[in-house]
Amino acid sequence: MAEYDLPGPGKVCAATGRALKPGDRYYAVLSDAGGEFVRADYAADAWAGPPPGHRAYWAGTVPPADKPRRPVVDDEVLVGCFDRLGASADPDDRNVRYVAALLLMRRKRFRFEDAVRDDAGNDVLLVRDVRAGAVHRVTDPRLADDRVGAVQAELFRLLGWEAE
């Protein structure tokens, strides 16, 4: 069986020039132009049937617009960043380390072991690196939810993992 590389639905109705939007019904037509398949899409309300000389036609619905891609997270890079920030006393570094620990727990690279209070009265998470077996102490900086999101976005930006 021969394989053909056919494009997805077009963005414009071939009959009216009107934009086809996600959720719109359309008709697609394949025609032969000089030995090459050419696709044309028609809005359902502009469809008058297939043009003469067509090879194939079908109906469909324009798919939803692509969602923004989530960044690909490299666990090893994230663990390295987490480890490097362990000795820092800078509050911003501690915020980033805490968010990195949360991401690593979400990705199942770190496992929550316990929550304790240190001598200064701070909440501390004890997390275990499931690969290396090391237990890490992570001070909870008590970030508000919106601040956690902002720190995560900054961490992704610093590591070059911005979503496109």
The string of pLDDT tens digits covering residues 106-128 is 999 999 999 999 999 999 999 99
Residue 37 is predicted with a pLDDT of 78
Query: DSSP label at 62?
Result: P
Measured in whole angstroms, the distance separating CA 44 from the mean position of its chain's CA atoms is 32
**pLDDT category, 71, cuts 50, 70, 90?**
low
What is the pLDDT, as a whole number, of residue 127? 97
Q: How far apart are CA 109 and CA 88, in angstroms?
A: 22
SS percent in the chain: helix, strand, coil, step 5: 30, 30, 45
Q: What's the whole-number mean pLDDT along residues 34-58? A: 88
The better pLDDT of the pair 2, 22 is held by 22
Q: What is the pLDDT of residue 1?
A: 45
**What is the C-alpha separation between 29 and 19, in angstroms, rounded?**
17
